[in-house]
């Protein structure tokens, strides 16, 4: 009799472990360091709703990787598609600091041409949610206003 419940539970264990690696990104907010210039360029939208997915790749106790893909309403009020991957160094139990390489496609940036950019990222991680931040520096014609972006990753359990 003991074997029957175990036989039902054991096949679900890999699925549970797999689900813990996936999260849903809810995009969010941005802050433009030069708000006057952002307004002049019509890239001053600071509420950037959208959805995406994240796949987390544990590497060691101090390092983890991730892959993201999603779509959101960007600072120019256009739909932006983003995909990329990166790694976090675990500064403490909750704080993460790292970098990512992102592919971004939006009419707002780089004259509407798809671009690839390395970006610094930071996060505060709990069991259920990771609060993420990215710094997008001013880079001549690609992104004319330095910006911080914020979003949350809700982990599937």
Q: Is pLDDT of 142 > 80?
A: no
Task: Measure the CA–CA gap between 38 and 55, rounded to whole angstroms.
Answer: 32
Pick from 112, 99, 129, 116: which is nearest to 24 by CA? 129
Looking at residue 75, its pLDDT comes to: 92
Model pLDDT for residues 30-56, shown as the tens digit of each residue: 999 999 998 998 999 999 999 999 999
Give the global pTM.
Answer: 0.83
- Proportion of the chain above pLDDT 90, given as a percent: 70
How far is Cα of residue 142 from the mean position of the Cα atoms in its chain? 20
Cβ neighbourhood burial of 153 (10 Å; 0-12, 13-18, 19+): buried
Q: Burial level of 130, CB count in 10 A (0-12/13-18/19+)?
A: buried
pLDDT tens-digit series, residues 68-104? 999 999 999 999 999 999 999 999 999 999 999 999 9
Structure tokens at 4: 């029957």
CATH match for 3-155 among 3.60.21.10, 3.40.50.150, 3.40.190.10, 2.40.160.20:
2.40.160.20
- Any idea where the domains of the chain sit in the sequence? 3-155
Contact 41, 70 (CB under 8 A): no
The pLDDT score that the predictor gives to residue 19 is 54
Of 24 and 19, more confident: 24
């Amino acid at each position: 009799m003991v074997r029957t419940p175990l036989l039902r539970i054991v096949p679900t264990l890999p699925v549970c472990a797999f689900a813990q690696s996936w999260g849903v990104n809810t995009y969010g907010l941005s802050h433009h360091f030069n708000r006057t210039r952002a307004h002049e360029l019509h890239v001053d939208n600071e509420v950037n709703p959208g959805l995406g997915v994240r796949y987390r790749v544990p590497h060691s106790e101090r390092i983890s990787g991730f892959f993201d893909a999603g779509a959101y309403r960007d600072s120019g009020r256009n739909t932006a598609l983003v995909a990329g991957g990166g790694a976090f160094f675990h500064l403490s139990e909750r704080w993460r600091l790292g970098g990512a390489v992102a592919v971004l496609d939006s009419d707002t940036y780089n004259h509407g041409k798809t671009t690839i950019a390395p970006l610094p990222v930071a996060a505060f991680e709990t069991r259920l949610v990771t609060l993420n931040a990215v710094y997008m520096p001013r880079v001549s014609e690609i992104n004319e206003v330095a910006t911080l972006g914020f979003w949350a990753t809700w982990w599937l359990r």
